[in-house]
Structure 1
Amino acid sequence: MTLAGWTVALFLCLAPAAGASVGFQTASIAVAGDRPLRVGIWYPSDAAEAPTPLALSMQIVAPDAAMAGSRHPLIVISHGTGGSFADHFDTAQALARAGFIVVAVSHTGDTYDDRSRALRITERSGQLVRTIDYMTTEWRDHGAVDARRIGAFGFSSGGFTVLSLIGGEPDMALVAPHCREHPAYFDCQLTPTMGAVAPTVPAPVAHDRRVRAAVVAAPAVGFSFAPSGLAKVRIPVQLWRAEADTILPNPLYAEAVRGLLPRRPEYHVVPGADHFDFLPPCSDGLKAAAPQICGSHIDRAAFHATFNAQVVRFFRATLR
């Protein structure tokens, strides 16, 4: 079957009921001793959708609409360095249209407008734990969340975050020798290019046993989990690598993670893709503001049709 045929087949078997739409809202989550977390939330709704601005993009959603149904599985999304909760809106919409509630976090101090804490990467998993707490006990529609079916999605630094969340224990002492050997790599350029300050003693990562399945795309700092930092990860993982990743080059990131996971992941290598192809196709406004993340040697829209369908399929199978 061709790629196009496989994509059509996936959508036919994963298609939601006719008339299903996606509600969307934003929220601010209080965090003890820190700034509130900004999140975007996508969820099933029966309300009419309309084109709605989101950052520099446009999405088709029903803003602040009522929730449809109940007992929905929850997916929490973690973005890459310098991003925001808007970064994976198309994947969030695909999941919501398939019956999931999705919450994406803007990680404090590691967003497009504030990168001061980009090197405090071990703090991020605790922000996901707080977000899950909020969604299952405090959010206005928390009664519609099935707290027994929770998954996590992470890209780049968000991939590291999710691996930490599900039981990974990184050794951050490995970063310094890595950067002495590869000073030009993106992760070794965060201090000079973004003004990020590394902590003297990294915060311990936070784990959450409520998460039962994870999708990890192009994980940053994958090498830091060697030799046994992923030994406690026992849940299903869908792992993605861009074949031509120029930001996190093979084999020190996704490939390193694949070799360290004790349970064989569902592994996908995207032919010809670069790192930022895991982000949605860029709007004209985003192309003008951030051209470095918009270039591509593949048909990004076609890839995302397949990528999103595969993510939906995986979570449907593992969060039954």
Structure 2
Amino acid sequence: MRLVAVTAFALAVALAIFTAPCLAADVGFEKIEIADGAEPPLTVGIWYPTDAPASEHASGNHTQTVALDAPVVGDGLRLIVMSHGGGGSYDSHYDTALALAHAGFVAAAVSHAGDTYDDQTHVLEPWRRTAQLHRLADFMLNEWSGHAHLDETRIGAFGFSNGGFTVLVAAGATPDLSAIAPYCRAHAEHDLCQALQHAGVDPDRAAHAPAGAWVHDPRIKAAVIAAPAFGFAFGRAGLSDVRIPIQLWRAADDHHQPHPYYDEAVRMNLPRAPEYHVVAHAGHYDFLPPCDARLSRKMPALCTSQPGFDRSAFHDEFNAATVRFFQTELR
């Protein structure tokens, strides 16, 4: 009996070794432009496992250690599509994308044309974002040079702020933007309402999505969402079709999207309770990667954390939790 047990244990260990994912040594990276119908091309960043040697390269306001345009390693790889916050770009969450790629995922992020740091022409048309995220998934699964390495049945999504809103819609939510006007009448001092006022925008006129504008994507099977924008605009009915597993993050000291109108409004109304994390002493922009000294001088509002809050240490935990969630939910 003891011999049988030992043999069975050895067989189990061997099976675990042979069935465990084989992680590549480094991370490959591509920055490309993809066609988007009659719209201008979309800028996309793609991080993926590779065995090519990596080195430091500048990426926007950051430096990352990657192998540029290297071959993809692995098969049946899980895809995570990523959506940045308002005024961001494809590399706004490059550290999370790197962590995912190191863990054997492919992470693809799109710069949302019309709502980037250098293009705010369509910032009050958030339905454009959902169509762009859908286009990104289409491209990755059908046109990307490495698409044969992907498992089209295991797709996740990551989104922050406006990107969190975008991912919720992709996951099945339908917002009611007409809720913005009464919200701002009740909370004129809140950042969203101040921004609309400073831009000379009437919320009643800006909050009308075209018929059929909200693009849902049933290919997405799990989502990580941090500080979702316009949380109050969903309600229970608007979130009723979001059935996938959600990991939801809130910064405890988020003055940009104050509690309980954003994250809590989503958490309370999801039909399936999310995995919920509240980050003590964190502000809204602490979900962005740590800044170097140059970027801190250039963009202090995005880079300054509360005294005593270690953004680097938090991102180690945040990225690890993101990877674990997708590893569990996209098995």
Same-fold status (TM-score > 0.5): yes
Residue 277 of structure 1: which of 254, 274, 286 is its match? 286
Residue 265 of structure 2 aligns to a residue whose secondary structure is helix
Q: 2:176, 2:233 within 8 Å by CA — same for their partners in 1?
A: yes
Structure 2: stretches of 5+ with no match in the other structure: 1-20
> Of residues 228, 247, 254 in structure 2, which corresponds to 1:238?
247
Amino acid at match of 2:189: A
**Are the counterparts in 2 of residues 37 and 108 from structure 1 also a CA contact under 8 Å?**
yes
Structure 1 residues 18 and 231: CA distance shift in structure 2, 3 A: closer
* Equivalent in the alignment of 1:216: 225
What is aligned with 1:10?
A: none
Is 1:304 matched up with 2:315? yes
State how 1:64-143 maps to structure 2 within 5 Å: 64-143=69-148
1:167 aligns with 2:172: yes
Q: List 4+ stretches of structure 1 deviating above 6 A.
A: 16-19, 195-198
Deviation at 1:191, TM superposition (A): 3.5
CA–CA separation in structure 2 for the residues paired with 1:249 and 1:84:
24
**Secondary structure of 2:296's aligned partner:** helix
Deviation at 1:195, TM superposition (A): 7.3
What is the CA distance between 1:34 and its match in structure 2?
A: 1.0
Judging changes above 3 Å, is the alpha-carbon distance between structure 1 residues 133 and 20 closer, same or farther for their aligned structure 2 residues?
same
Instruction: Determine if contact 1:238/1:265 at 8 Å carries over to the other structure.
Output: yes
Partner of 1:12: none
Q: How far apart, CA to CA, are the structure 2 residues paired with 1:195 and 1:66?
A: 49
Q: Is contact 2:84-2:92 (8 Å) kept?
A: yes
Instruction: Supply the distance in 1 between the matched residues of 2:143 and 2:200 (Cα, whole angstroms).
Output: 35
**Percentage of matched positions with identical amino acids:** 51
Equivalent residue number for residue 36 of structure 1: 41
The equivalences for 1:180-219 within 5 A come to 180-193=185-198, 199=206, 201-203=208-210, 204-219=213-228
TM-score after normalising by structure 1: 0.92
Give the Cα–Cα distance (whole angstroms) in 2 for the partners of residues 28 and 195 of structure 1.
33
Cα distance per residue 1:239-265 (max 9 Å; x no partner): 000000010010000011000100010
Q: CA deviation at 1:295?
A: 0.6
Q: Which has the larger radius of gyration?
A: 2
AA matched with 1:296: S
Determine the C-alpha separation between the residues in 2 that align with 1:287 and 1:306. 22
Offset of 1:33 from its aligned partner? Answer: 2.0
Q: Which residue identity is paired with 2:290?
A: P
**Deviation readout 1:150-195 (Å, 9 max, x if unpaired):** 0000000000000000000101110111111122322223335567
Superposed CA RMSD in Å reads 1.7
Deviation, 1:289, is 1.9
Aligned pairs (5 A) from 1:241-256:
241-256=250-265
Structure 1 Cα separation of the partners of residues 148 and 41 of structure 2: 22
Gaps of 5+ in 1: 1-15
Residue 41 of structure 1 and its aligned partner are, at CA, apart by 0.4
Aligned partner of 2:304 in structure 1 is 295
Contact 2:23 2:104 in 1 (8 A): no
Q: State the alpha-carbon separation in 2 of the partners of residues 189 and 112 from structure 1.
A: 19
SS of alignment partner, residue 35 of structure 1: strand
2:52 alignment counterpart? 47
Q: Which has the higher contact order (CA 8 A, sep 6+)?
A: 1
Task: Write the letter of the residue equivalent to 2:285.
Answer: F
Counterpart of 2:3 in structure 1 is none
Q: Does 1:151 align with 2:162?
A: no
The alpha-carbon deviation at position 122 of structure 1 amounts to 2.0
What is the number of residues matched between the two proteins? Answer: 306
In the alignment, the residues of structure 2 paired with residue 196 and residue 127 of structure 1 have an alpha-carbon distance, to the nearest angstrom, of: 24
